């Protein structure tokens, strides 16, 4: 018998009532039953993301929605501003390249947050930029970007702000309307507590106007204008992933019932506990602006993070992520988003602590857990 604890930043744990919903019989989608469900789902997701915009759902992973929010938004002759501070920020730039879309790329050192002032300068110096692409939680580095401040900068211009909230939206503070986010892209497999397979987008009126101005975008399934037109009729252009959508309604209900302010506060507390625990184990927090959704730390000098991870998983059953690209072998990334409680933090820290001790690292048994408990018990 093997029991595994999924503490990776997606896929993440799925509650039993969501899983059970997935086992229900399938029904036809061109029916009042589907429309009613989509209507409730739209209302609930608007509350979760604090958006009064359209809610669009694609049967894809988050990257599909990222692609849709590039190809439908930036017309020929105009440019995207891509903020690249990690593997996922770089994806915006790669999508532009794949479609031959002109871009201004703003590289941000990995581990650092995007600078709103630099965004303002870039927009001021290039009037061809019609959209700014950034990331809420850069999962590869554990940074949470200052979306509110970037939103204020972009809102003062004619450009739209597109935020990759695949990781973090539904866990970290994210107020789409108040923060002037025109398109928020989310994946189902992280804070939304679902299996992989759904991408969700919010679309503001400003983004809709831009969509309407782009003729013949290089998109068919991912044609956002078509999807928005269907959504206005509580419909979808093609067969919707209705079983996953039914399950998302269960998850969204739970978030709305808890209240988003409570959801944000709960995740902040997890992050605080994880940071305290990991620091007590002698590990250095990697990002300069740590996210509420996951904590990334550096492995001790001379120790391969992949080996720590392997022991944590194979011997103790805790699946924790490692570093990606140039950070492979150097980082450990413990998620605390979605269907997570205080004990998940304790389990992750205990597994890492034992794995570090097994590798001969000098850790005081229980020190990480004790530091996290002090945070978790407070308030």
* Other residues' Cβ atoms within 10 Å of the Cβ of residue 193: 27
User: What is the nearest approach in angstroms of ligand PMP to the Cβ of residue 63?
Assistant: 3
Give SS3 for 232: coil
List 7, 166, 203, 320, residue binding ligand PMP (CB under 6 A): 166
CB-based contacts of 245, cutoff 8 Å, min separation 6? 37, 38, 41, 57, 198
CB-based contacts of 265, cutoff 8 Å, min separation 6? none
Give SS3 for 273: helix
> Does residue 12 touch ligand PMP according to CB under 6 A?
no
* Other residues' Cβ atoms within 10 Å of the Cβ of residue 97: 12
Looking at beta carbons only, is 45 or 166 nearer to ligand PMP? 166
Say if residues 101 and 94 touch (Cβ distance below 8 Å): no
List 63, 234, 243, 367, residue binding ligand PMP (CB under 6 A): 63
List 5, 38, 88, 316, residue binding ligand PMP (CB under 6 A): 88
List 8, 12, 51, 167, residue binding ligand PMP (CB under 6 A): 167
* Other residues' Cβ atoms within 10 Å of the Cβ of residue 324: 16
Looking at beta carbons only, is 134 or 180 nearer to ligand PMP? 134
Three-state SS letters, 68-100: HHHHCCCCCCCEEEEEECCHHHHHHHHHHHHCC
Cα torsion through 29, 35, 36, 39, rounded to 10 = 130
Q: Stretches 25-33, 58-66, 98-106, 228-236: which one binds ligand PMP (CB under 6 A)?
A: 58-66
Could you tell me the CA-to-CA distances from 135 to 29, 58, 161, 187, 360 in Å, in that order?
33, 19, 10, 13, 37
Looking at beta carbons only, is 135 or 236 nearer to ligand PMP? 135
Looking at beta carbons only, is 187 or 323 nearer to ligand PMP? 187
> Does residue 61 touch ligand PMP according to CB under 6 A?
yes
Binding mask 98-137 for ligand PMP (x = CB under 6 A): -------------------------------------x-x
> Does residue 146 touch ligand PMP according to CB under 6 A?
no
Number of chain positions touching ligand PMP (CB under 6 A): 12
Q: Stretches 33-41, 126-134, 160-168, 296-304: which one binds ligand PMP (CB under 6 A)?
A: 160-168
Q: Footprint of ligand PMP on this chain (CB under 6 A)?
A: 10, 61-63, 88, 135, 137, 139, 164, 166-167, 187
């Amino acid at each position: 018998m093997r029991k595994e604890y999924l503490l990776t930043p997606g896929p993440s744990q799925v509650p039993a009532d969501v899983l059970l919903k997935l086992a229900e019989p399938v029904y036809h989608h061109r029916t009042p039953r589907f429309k009613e469900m989509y209507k409730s789902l739209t209302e609930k997701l608007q509350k979760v993301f604090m958006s009064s915009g359209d809610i669009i759902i694609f049967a894809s992973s988050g990257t599909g929605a990222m692609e849709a929010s590039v190809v439908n938004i930036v017309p020929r002759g105009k440019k995207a501003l891509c903020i690249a501070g990690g593997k996922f920020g770089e994806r915006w730039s790669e999508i532009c390249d794949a479609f031959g879309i002109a871009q201004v790329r703003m590289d941000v050192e990995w581990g650092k947050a995007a600078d709103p002032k630099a965004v303002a300068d870039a927009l001021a110096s290039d009037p061809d930029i019609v959209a700014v692409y950034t990331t809420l939680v850069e999962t590869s580095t554990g940074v949470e970007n200052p979306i509110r401040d970037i939103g204020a900068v972009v809102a003062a211009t004619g450009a739209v702000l597109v935020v990759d909230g695949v990781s973090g939206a539904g866990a970290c503070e994210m107020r789409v309307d108040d923060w002037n986010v025109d398109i928020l892209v989310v994946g189902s497999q992280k804070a939304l507590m679902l299996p992989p397979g759904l991408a969700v987008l919010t679309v503001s009126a400003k983004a809709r106007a831009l969509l309407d101005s782009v003729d013949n975008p290089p998109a068919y399934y991912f044609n956002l204008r078509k999807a928005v037109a269907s959504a206005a009729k509580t419909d979808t252009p093609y067969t919707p992933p209705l079983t996953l959508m039914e399950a998302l309604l269960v998850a969204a209900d739970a978030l709305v019932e808890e209240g988003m302010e409570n959801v944000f506060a709960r995740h902040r507390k997890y992050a605080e506990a994880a940071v305290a625990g990991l620091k007590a184990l002698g590990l250095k927090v990697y990002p300069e602006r740590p996210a509420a959704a996951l904590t990334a730390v550096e492995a001790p000098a001379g120790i391969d993070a992949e080996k720590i991870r392997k022991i944590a998983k194979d011997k103790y059953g805790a699946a924790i992520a490692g570093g990606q690209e140039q950070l492979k072998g150097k980082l450990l990334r413990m998620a605390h988003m979605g269907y997570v409680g205080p004990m998940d933090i304790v389990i992750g820290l205990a597994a890492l602590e034992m794995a570090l001790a097994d590798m001969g690292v000098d850790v005081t048994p229980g020190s990480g857990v004790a530091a996290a408990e002090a945070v978790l018990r407070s308030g």
